[in-house]
Amino acid sequence: MNEAISRKVYLNDYKPFGWEVEQVSLTFRLSPRGTRVLSRIAFRPREGGRFFLHGEGLRLISAAIDGRTVTPEVTDEGLTCEVPDRPFLWEAEVEIAPEDNTALEGLYMSNGMFCTQCEAEGFRRITFYPDRPDVMAPFRVRIESDLPVLLSNGDPVASGKGWAEWHDPWPKPAYLFALVAGDLRAVRDSFTTRSGREIDLAVWVREGDEDRCGWALESLKASMAWDEREYGREYDLSVFNIVAVDDFNAGAMENKGLNIFNSALVLASPETATDRDFERIEAVIAHEYFHNWTGNRVTCRDWFQLCLKEGLTVYRDQQFTGDMRSAPVKRIEDAAMIRSRQFREDNGPLAHPVRPEEFIEINNFYTITVYEKGAEVVGMLHRLVGQNAWRAACDLYFERHDGQAVTIEDWLAAFRDTTGRNLTQFMRWYSQAGTPRLSVAEDWDGQTLTLTLRQHTPPTPGQQEKAPQLIPVALGLLHPSGPEILRTQIVEMTEPEEVVRYDVGALCKAAGLKTERPVVSALRNFSAPVMLEHDQSPKERAFLLRHDTDPVNRWEAGRALSRAALTAMATGGDADPQAWLEGLEAALTDETLDPAMQSLLLSLPSEDDLAQSLADAGEAPDPLAIRHAVEAMQDHMAETLEPVLTRAFEATAGTGPFRPDAAGAGRRSLHNACLTLLTRRDEGTRARETFARADNMTASLGALNALLSVGAGKDELAAFEARWQHDRLVMDKWFALQVMRASPEQATEVAERLTQHPQFAWKTPNRFRSVIGTLAGNAAGFHHPSGAAYDFFADWLLKLDPVNPQTAARMSTAFETWRRYGPERQARLRATLERIAASPGLSRDTGEMVARMLG
């Protein structure tokens, strides 16, 4: 890595910009190879200092101050210039080449369309500007181009043949700037706000995609109504535009009034999108819309505060999905994601606080820790203060900071001032990295149950010492005959060790039950993002799986049982899946249970989760042994549960016309889960029939998945390709599924063969991820002892890196778990990382990642 470009930025070095930007006017003369950008920026001095504007890859044509030509000093990172000590007008003209922009940051092209991605620091690739979130200004934009559709932020002002003008009255940081120009089609709708303003809504897509926009529009209207109802937040412009773009590094972007989406997260029809896709689209549309208040009207002072907008907005989209669908199911899915993917990050070399304090490349910190753990922290705060104070504090936050760029301290101050609570210890959730271990020890004397709670957080890179966290531990007690004798109560743990006592005799008496040792249900609803260490017997877990009133812990009890059985099987130990299978059978025949919940109970921990569990227990995981264990368990489940699975499969078949609602999705999810298991016993008969009859993507993909997972499905795969070859989004699924379901021996070969496919467009991030990224998701294939996958994966990362560093760096996290494996794999993984690190010209993005992973 080049020293000059690997400079670290520190939270503690924050200094405000010396000038205020009062107004920005931009004119774009669009052309693929030579776009001219003219800027007129009104600056007003505050503290002054050295006048520096960011700028990267710009050809400066001219610059002037108050109409007089100036000659600034230009470097790789920007320019400096002598400026007067009074308000002045800066004017500059630069030239850029959107067509050559493969990094997909700044202004670039996708299928003949111009589009932008400026978060976090992409605006500096468009023109010279103080490209930092605490500089907020109203923008006027004029676009000149022959393309028919010309869009930017805010409200449309005027347009004519070959030009259009936009005005965004709300002061915003440059990272929220957006521009789109292309031959696009609009699908329109409208929304009337609660104060009676009518908003024009539009989704802009390529010709031919118009019939796939309905769901995004429905989701948008639902989000707008929800934010008014739940947070009193109304939309603030006359139009809201969404654009679908095929080449996009991330999922979507909340640019003011002009959200830009990865087309995979907007376009949906029953024939081409799965239930999962519909649910994700609904959630991401909501997420970006909610940013209008949490992120745009109130933004971040600097990029260290990223979780201020992301953690809060993820929390809000989770609440929304819970309200639109099933709250318990959503909570289980979120808890499962944290426990597998966030804990993986938090327990490895890339661990960082929810609010990091240093970085080299900010794009490397759009992580599951900042987003999802950030959302957990916000959720804890909500539960600690209660709904009324939550709403009051959010109102205060919006009122106090509207139009400002603020910090986590400001956010917490709104809660302190609303509730009078001291949140000093709570603040550690933002500053301390790593997952706290919470152990629960029980002591029973026949009358009183004593619980000793202990917490400790292991060291993480750069943070050796950890202080105790404020951990809200939700607990309940169940009588061994079934009923709950203590409803959920929250223990607010603040010390390394705390003791709680329950007079069980009295609780039993109050419930009219004989005094018996109760079963403890701890960390209900996943009340804090901690690893719970609570020794419970298989019998107690099976009991909780059947009787717990808390859905998350019911699911967790099942998970603990299957995890224990699978890790034992993977290490040649004594596996007793009996309790698990009995519990599962009871759940599958329980007619009061939601099919979505039954489907969740039926799912096994991922192979990566199992590897992590083994590593946590001090064993070097063998991904091949894990794969065999999972397959053996699936065979076992299919065999013992065949009659119940068959019944559930049949009961969930043919549910009428496809509707992407939670109830239908739950039934189809259970149907597919049963099909996958039954396919292990019927030679694929049911899956083939299902595939042949399928009239929606959830069903066809479910059937294809079931076939591929038993090594069948060749004809179906070919039929699928023949039918969908012209559909890029469906083809992404076709590519990914083959890599995901390839045997450990063949995975690299399959991926390699797919990279030769005429449709393997490796510069398009979705396609790259569907093949190369998916290989890392096939744990047994990726970690095959031949090491072929490591080499193949690294070669592709190195090929992508100069073209698109952001996506390459993100995918390098496939290697973050390298230290958990045995000596041979570790040696190979280290050598692979070292090879990447030593590669000449490595980007700052990937350079930072591999350096952190090597530690």
Is residue 3 annotated as part of the catalytic site, yes or no?
no
Say how many C-beta atoms besides its own lie within 10 A of residue 207's C-beta: 8
The residue among 152 and 259 lying less far from ligand ARG, judged by its C-beta, is 259
Residue 306: contacted member of Zn ion, ligand ARG, none (CB under 5 to 8 Å, by partner type): none
Instruction: Please choose, out of 248-256, 391-399, 611-619, 847-855, the segment that lies near ligand ARG by the rule CB under 6 A.
Output: 248-256
Q: How many residues bind ligand ARG (CB under 6 A)?
A: 11
Let me know the angle formed at the C-alpha of 386 by 489 and 557, rounded to the nearest 5 degrees.
Answer: 40
- Give which of ligand ARG, Zn ion, none residue 119 binds (C-beta under 5 to 8 Å, depending on kind): ligand ARG
**How is 535-569 classified by DSSP, letter by letter?**
---HHHHHHHHHH-S-HHHHHHHHHHHHHHHHHHH
Interface with ligand ARG in residues 285-324 (CB under 6 A): 287-288, 310
| CA separation for the pair 311, 19 (Å, rounded) | 30
| Closer residue to ligand ARG (CB): 203 or 638 | 203
Q: How far apart are CA 660 and CA 650, in angstroms?
A: 20
Here's the x/- map for Zn ion, 306-325, by CB under 5 A: it reads as ----x--x------------
Choose the one of Zn ion, ligand ARG, none that binds residue 345, judging by a C-beta under 5 to 8 angstroms depending on kind. Answer: none
- By C-beta, is 52 or 366 nearer to Zn ion? 366
5-36 CB burial, b ≥16 within 10 A, e <16: eeeebebeeeeebbbebeebbbbbbbbeeebb
Alpha carbons 295 and 307: distance in angstroms, whole number? 10
Residue 501 has a CB neighbour count (10 Å cut-off) of 10
- Is 120 a binding residue for ligand ARG by CB under 6 A? The answer is yes
Could you tell me the smallest distance in angstroms from the CB atom of residue 302 to Zn ion? Answer: 17
Nearer Cβ to ligand ARG, position 284 or 575?
284
CA–CA gap between residue 207 and residue 148 (Å, rounded): 13
Q: Tokens 């998350």 sit at which residue?
A: 552
Which one of 161-169, 236-244, 249-257, 546-554 is the stretch in contact with ligand ARG (CB under 6 A)? 249-257
Nearest CB to Zn ion, comparing residues 268 and 300:
300
Site for ligand ARG in 344-403 (CB under 6 A): 363, 366
Region from 246-254, 614-622, 772-780, 790-798 binding ligand ARG, contact rule CB under 6 A: 246-254
Stretch that binds ligand ARG, among 47-55, 216-224, 247-255, 373-381 (CB under 6 A): 247-255
* Nearer to ligand ARG among residue 39 and residue 296 (C-beta): 296
In contact, 262 and 248? CB cutoff 8 Å: yes
Query: 273-312: which residues touch Zn ion (CB under 5 A)?
Result: 310
CB of 266 to ligand ARG, least distance (A): 13
Tokens 């970690």 label which residue? Answer: 783
In angstroms, what is the minimal distance from the CB of 376 to Zn ion? 15
Q: Please report the sign of the dihedral spanned by the C-alpha atoms of residue 398, residue 403, residue 409, residue 413.
A: negative
Smallest gap, in angstroms, from Cβ of residue 263 to ligand ARG?
15
Question: What is the C-alpha to C-alpha distance for residues 751 and 736, in angstroms, rounded to an integer?
Answer: 9
Question: Which of ligand ARG, Zn ion, none binds 253 (CB below 5-8 Å, type-dependent)?
Answer: ligand ARG
**Residue (301 or 828) nearer to Zn ion, CB:** 301
Residue 390 Cβ, how far from ligand ARG at the closest point, in Å? 22
Q: How far is residue 706 CA from its own chain's centroid?
A: 26
Radius of gyration of the chain, Cα coordinates, nearest whole angstrom: 28
27 three-class SS:
strand
Q: Which amino acid is at 387?
A: Q
Q: What stretch of H or E contains 854? A: helix 844-854
> Nearer to ligand ARG by C-beta: 263 or 363?
363
Give CA 283 to chain center in angstroms: 11
Token readout for 788 is 């072929």
Considering only residues 250 through 269, tell me which ones interact with ligand ARG, judged by CB under 6 A. 250, 252-254
Rounded to a whole number of angstroms, the minimum distance from the CB of residue 352 to ligand ARG is: 15
Residue 449 is a binding residue for ligand ARG (CB under 6 A): no
Choose, from 254, 288, 372, 484, the residue flagged as catalytic: 288
Residues sharing a CB contact under 8 Å with residue 303, sequence separation 6 or more, in sequence order? 9, 120, 133, 359, 362, 365
Cα(171)–Cα(121) distance, integer angstroms = 18
Residues in the interface with Zn ion (CB under 5 A) total: 2
In the complex, minimum distance from the CB of residue 103 to ligand ARG, in angstroms, rounded to a whole number: 11
Q: Contact between 119 and ligand ARG (CB under 6 A)? A: yes
Q: Binding residues for ligand ARG, per CB under 6 A? A: 119-120, 250, 252-254, 287-288, 310, 363, 366
Query: What does the binding site for Zn ion look like in residue numbers (CB under 5 A)?
Result: 310, 313
The catalytic residues are: 288
